[in-house]
Amino acid sequence: MANRKARPDKPDRMCYLSAPRPPDRSAAMNSITITRPDDMHLHLRDGAELASVIGASARCFARGIVMPNLMPPVTTVPQALAYRERILRCAPPAARFVPLMTLYLTDTTAPLEIRRARDSGLVFGVKLYPAGATTHSDSGVTDISRTHAVMEALAVTGLPLLVHGEVTDANVDIFDREAVFIDRVLAPLLQRFPSLRVVFEHVTTHEAVEFVRTAPANVAATITPQHLLYNRNALFHGGLRPHYYCLPVLKAEAHRRALLEAACSGSPKFFLGTDSAPHERATKESACGCAGCFSAPAAIELYAQAFDQAGALNRLDDFAARHGAAFYGLPRNTETITLDRQEWTVPAQLPFAAGAIVPLAAGETCQWKMMNS
């Protein structure tokens, strides 16, 4: 078999993965105006890194559910409020970006902290990272049974549990870890606490889509742009491509299609969460590269591309701006943004603290461009 040589200087256009447009598609839309969207799953980091990336999210999104996996993690309400202040100090004032804070669940989180979080009015969820599942998850939960008192408090307060849904069992194939998590952890948890409000974050498999679709209304899911646009081939296309590596890892094409269908279905259970997760270039282009795709610089455009490929641009507003706000009990944003069908090239890299960062889809041609940013 011919060994295709990697051409990192000449990235492929992303359309090598694109689904063909439906044949019955009426006159192509060349512009779309939607409610200003919210990013319901976002990593902003801290310090100089935060200052480098906040503008990319604030240019487009009105609000963001901010992940707590800093080092050390954000485990208490005072820590979350202090982090919120740091974000607000860094955000471009004109953007009026609103960070929606979360707490990092550990084996020792006290139920009282959940009540404090609810009473703060500024904490919107509690994040479950199985210990060792992903970036900065070392302080995560080692055994779900240790969190039962906290789950009870979450069920009572109505504060959502935000779930990184992968088992960490090394004997489970990495592509199966999400499906196994449903059977071993999530389904039993919801059986025990049926009223628990759950956001199954960054779903990547048709098993997760089916689980959420058939669950009661208190269970919803976020979907990332990378899992809508790429399948696992993107990780190995002409060579090893670390900037397409995130956790949960990209899956096979059948899973991508199931996600696209769910996102475009109009179901209020599925909404936008980019999981934009910045890592400095060298830490990704390494013998043991970090997981995470920095999607913020082109996020809404990439979602528009995915919805356009599915012939479902008319559903983008629901997915990006309505379903997430409704699940979190937030008012819908009143401003709008406009995207035009206009080709542009996603930058090869951007400044990041003292170094550089490679965004998702770097060097690829995007068909949609946000105009009022």
Residue ranges in contact with ligand DOR by CB under 6 A: 43, 69, 134-136, 164, 246-247, 277, 291-292
* Strands annotated E in the chain: 31-35, 39-42, 63-66, 98-104, 123-128, 161-163, 198-200, 219-223, 270-272, 336-345, 350-352, 355-357, 365-370
Nearest CA to 33 out of 370, 342, 338, 307 is that of 338
Interface stretch with Zn ion, choices 101-109, 181-189, 249-257, 274-282 (CB under 5 A): 274-282
Instruction: Tell me which DSSP letter residue 340 carries.
Output: E
CA pair distance 186, 91, nearest whole angstrom: 35
- Output the smallest distance, CB 19 to ligand DOR, in A: 24
Annotated catalytic residue within 38, 275, 317, 318: 275
- Output the smallest distance, CB 143 to ligand DOR, in A: 19
Structure tokens at 213: 């679709």
- Output the smallest distance, CB 134 to ligand DOR, in A: 4
- Output the smallest distance, CB 367 to ligand DOR, in A: 25
Interface stretch with Zn ion, choices 13-21, 167-175, 269-277, 336-344 (CB under 5 A): 269-277
**Nearer Cβ to ligand DOR (135/365):** 135
Counting contacts by CB under 5 A, is residue 39 touching Zn ion? Answer: no
- Output the smallest distance, CB 236 to Zn ion, in A: 23
**Nearer Cβ to ligand DOR (166/301):** 166
Name the amino acid, one letter, at 191. Answer: Q
Which residue has the CB atom at the shortest distance from Zn ion?
275
Please select the residue that binds Zn ion; options are 38, 113, 207, 275, rule is CB under 5 A. 275
Nearest CA to 322 out of 80, 40, 28 is that of 40
**Nearer Cβ to ligand DOR (42/306):** 42
| Catalytic-residue membership of 46 | no
CA pair distance 115, 102, nearest whole angstrom: 13
**Nearer Cβ to ligand DOR (69/309):** 69
Which listed option, ligand DOR, Zn ion, none, makes contact with residue 11 (CB within 5 to 8 Å by class)?
Answer: none
Could you give the angle at the alpha carbon of 83 between the alpha carbons of 82 and 85, nearest 5°?
65
CA pair distance 263, 311, nearest whole angstrom: 12
Q: Provide the phi-psi class of 201: left if phi over 0, else alpha when psi is between -120 and 50, else beta.
A: beta
**Nearer Cβ to ligand DOR (153/246):** 246
Q: How many CA atoms lie within 13 A of 65 on its CB side?
A: 28
CA pair distance 4, 211, nearest whole angstrom: 39
Which listed option, Zn ion, ligand DOR, none, makes contact with residue 276 (CB within 5 to 8 Å by class)?
Answer: none
Each residue 225-264 as x (binds Zn ion by CB under 5 A) or -, in order, gives ----------------------------------------
**Residues classed as catalytic:** 275
Positions that interact with Zn ion (CB under 5 A): 275
